[in-house]
């Protein structure tokens, strides 16, 4: 596997932090509950709630699930773009082209 598509642990931590801070606002833009979002991304309400309240660190897999969800919604993709939570290097590593 080529090293050009590896995202460093430091970069992952930064991206997770950026997204975590915006979770309540992103959910509000879509007018969905924590329960609804948990069902969509496949995690427990307890896990999600503790992530959103910053009592628990988000895993990279949960981060990727949330990024995919929020970048596929017209109401939230501008926020994701503006906060820098889904940089080009990550899109390239996931082989995702611009929308």
What is the three-class DSSP state of 88? helix
Domain extent, residue 75, equals: 9-93
In terms of Cα–Cα distance, which of 18, 24, 63, 25 is closest to 43?
63
Instruction: Quote the pLDDT of residue 6.
Output: 80
1 lies in some domain: no
Question: Is 14 part of a structural domain of the chain?
Answer: yes
| 98 is a domain residue | no
How many structural domains does the chain have? 1
Instruction: Answer whether residue 4 is part of any domain.
Output: no
Q: What pLDDT sits at residue 89?
A: 87
> How does pLDDT run along the chain (99 residues), one tens digit per residue?
445 568 899 999 999 999 999 999 999 999 999 999 999 999 999 999 999 999 999 999 999 999 999 999 999 999 999 999 999 889 888 887 654
* CATH classification at residue 82: 1.10.260
- Is residue 18 situated within a structural domain? yes
Confidence (pLDDT) at 5: 62
Q: Is residue 2 part of a domain?
A: no
């Amino acid at each position: 596997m080529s090293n050009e598509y590896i995202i460093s642990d430091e970069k992952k931590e930064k991206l997770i932090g950026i997204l975590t801070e915006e979770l309540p606002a992103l959910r509000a833009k879509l007018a969905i509950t924590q329960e609804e979002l948990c069902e969509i991304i496949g995690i427990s309400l307890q896990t999600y709630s503790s992530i959103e309240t910053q009592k628990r660190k988000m895993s990279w897999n949960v981060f990727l699930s949330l990024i995919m969800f929020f970048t596929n919604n017209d109401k939230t993709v501008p926020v994701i773009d503006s906060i820098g939570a889904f940089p080009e290097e990550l899109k390239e590593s996931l082989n995702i082209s611009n929308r």
